[in-house]
Amino acid sequence: MPTSIFRELALVQTREMFRDLKTLFLSVLYPFVILAIFMFVGAVTPKSPGGPNIQALSIAMTLFLCVGSFGFFGLAVPLVAMRERGTLRLLSTTPLRRATLLASQVPGRAAVAAGQIVVIVAIGLGMGAVTLANVAMLLAACLLGLVLFASLGYLVGGRAPSSESTSTVTAIGLVVLMFAGGLVFPLSGLPAAVGAVARFLPTTYLGDMLRHAALGTPAQYAPLLGVGVVLAYAAVFAAIAVRTFRWDAGERA
């Protein structure tokens, strides 16, 4: 990969994230707004005996949304916006390679996501919601989440034609995946049909790891199984994304 092209493009992509208010909010501030809402809801909800630690659950949910928004709002939506505007079409006439383009999105956004994860975990520690012993496991689960959602983000961003609809659909999809995967409520408490489908979703295994690491409750799946499923899905999503990626939105008269 030519270093100077990668460097210049990575700088461009990072500046794009920080200079546009909407992108800045979705990429940088969104998880903290969500965390504040979760914490507020947790604070005003009467505690039920035997219920989960709401603060720890809030940390797990926020981390899930954080790694999800890295893939969807950090990678997919900007990629779709570039296609929509015609920037990718213009770049396709230059020697820029597809791999360089996609890789250039990562440094700035991954740095932001890593910073967000560290701050969220630190907040959890500060509030006593997360124990020091579980931090390594929590960070490892987040790393897996970043890999999974990066591949999913490239899969979605590689073809979708409209940044508005991508933004809306992925925002809703992310919340649905969070609930359907048993992160908020254990799978045993969800309808059987949801549970049956959820077992085939990689986000279910990711959610299980986050819940286990944050709340300290027993994991539903063996750690190695979870890691294997998430990485396998990530590899499949990435392979499909590479094959289906499009520089432009198709030929028009």
Partner 1 sequence: MSVLETAVSVDGLVKTYGKVTAVDGVDLDIYAGEIFGLLGPNGAGKSTTIETLVGLRTPGGGQVRVLGLDPGDDRAGLREMVTIQPQEAAMFPTQTVTETLRLWAALHTGSRAPEEIMRALDLDGSRDVQVRRLSGGQRQRLLVATAMISRPRLMILDEPSTGLDPNARDALWEAIRDCRASGSTVLLSTHAMEEAHALCDRLAIVDHGKVVACGAPDDLIRKHAPYQEITFTSGAAERWDDLSDLPGVSHVATEPAGGGTRVAVQTSEPDTVLRAVLTGRDGVRDVQTHDGGLGAVFRALTGRTFD
Binding test (CB under 8 A) with partner 1, winner from 25, 29, 36, 86 = 86
How many CB atoms are located within 10 Å of the residue 37 CB? 12
Q: Is 250 in the site for partner 1 (CB under 8 A)?
A: no
* Rg, Å, the chain Cα set: 19
Q: Is 188 in the site for partner 1 (CB under 8 A)?
A: no
Q: Is 85 in the site for partner 1 (CB under 8 A)?
A: yes
Q: Are 151 and 73 in contact (CB under 8 A)?
A: no
Q: Is 138 in the site for partner 1 (CB under 8 A)?
A: no
Of 6 and 64, the one with the shorter C-beta distance to partner 1 is 6
Closest distance of CB 23 from partner 1, Å: 9
Closest distance of CB 82 from partner 1, Å: 8
Burial class for 84, CB neighbours closer than 10 Å (0-12, 13-18, 19+): middle
Of 104 and 203, the one with the shorter C-beta distance to partner 1 is 104
Distance, C-alpha 165 to centroid of its chain = 17
Query: Segment contacting partner 1 (CB under 8 A): 81-89, 126-134, 138-146, 162-170?
Result: 81-89
Q: Which residues of 51-62 are buried (b: 16+ CB within 10 A; e: fewer)?
A: ebbbbbbbbbbb
Q: Are 100 and 5 in contact (CB under 8 A)?
A: yes
SS3 5: helix
Q: Is 92 in the site for partner 1 (CB under 8 A)?
A: yes
The residues near 155 (Cβ < 8 Å, ≥ 6 apart) are: 237, 238, 240, 241, 244
Q: Is 1 in the site for partner 1 (CB under 8 A)?
A: no
Binding test (CB under 8 A) with partner 1, winner from 26, 75, 80, 96 = 96
Tell me which residues in 19-78 interact with partner 1 (CB under 8 A).
19-20
Closest distance of CB 233 from partner 1, Å: 31
Q: Is 9 in the site for partner 1 (CB under 8 A)?
A: yes
The CB-side HSE value for 232 (13 A sphere, CA atoms) comes to 10
Query: Segment contacting partner 1 (CB under 8 A): 5-13, 119-127, 154-162, 213-221?
Result: 5-13
Q: What angle do CA 172, 211, 179 make, to 5 degrees?
A: 25
Q: Is 253 in the site for partner 1 (CB under 8 A)?
A: yes
SS3 137: helix
Query: Which residues of this chain interact with partner 1, rule CB under 8 A?
Result: 2, 4-5, 7-9, 11-12, 15-16, 19-20, 82, 85-87, 89-96, 248, 251-253
